[in-house]
Amino acid sequence: MRVKTTAAGKSAAQTSGKKAQFLHKPNCTTCRKARKLLEKRGFQLHFRDLGKERLSAAELESLIGNRDHTDFLNTRNQVYRRENMKENPPSRKEAIQMMAKEPNLIRRPVVVAGGRVVLGFDEKGLARL
């Protein structure tokens, strides 16, 4: 996965070595909330704007791994609601193809650190990174 780094000067993260990939949309309030929490905890974040730099199907497959693919679907997305995915979830293959085509269908942010993946603003999950 290609990621971009910010150069905001030295932080606690740079001295502590805590790094995380932060897959997000900059205008997403949930993403901003998670970003603030992680930066406060001293993480050096490597950003990837999902709107500008979409995840490929292969990247999504790797990211999801052996997890439930439906956890990666954004339940607030228009396509999710229109297609009634709660009642009729797509197959793993279909979900990955849809998320690759429509990045707003991916639950955000996706934070990857230390072999762990945290979706959305999951305070307990983020605290375990």
* Residue boundaries of the structural domains of the chain: 12-50+108-129, 58-106
Mean pLDDT along residues 64-72: 97
Give the pLDDT band (50/70/90) at residue 1. low
Whole-number Å distance between alpha carbons of 6 and 2: 14
Instruction: Give the rounded percent of residues in the chain with a pLDDT score beyond 70.
Output: 87
Least Cα distance to 30 among 104, 95, 92, 115 occurs for: 104
Kindly report the average pLDDT of the chain as a whole number. Answer: 90
Statement: residue 120 has pLDDT above 50: yes
pLDDT number for residue 16: 58
Mean pLDDT along residues 10-19: 57
pLDDT number for residue 20: 97
Give the pLDDT band (50/70/90) at residue 11. very low
Q: Report the topology of domain 12-50+108-129.
A: Glutaredoxin (3.40.30)
Statement: residue 122 has pLDDT above 50: yes
* Amino acid letter, 50: L
Q: Which residues contact 28 (CB under 8 A, 6 or more apart)?
A: 108, 109
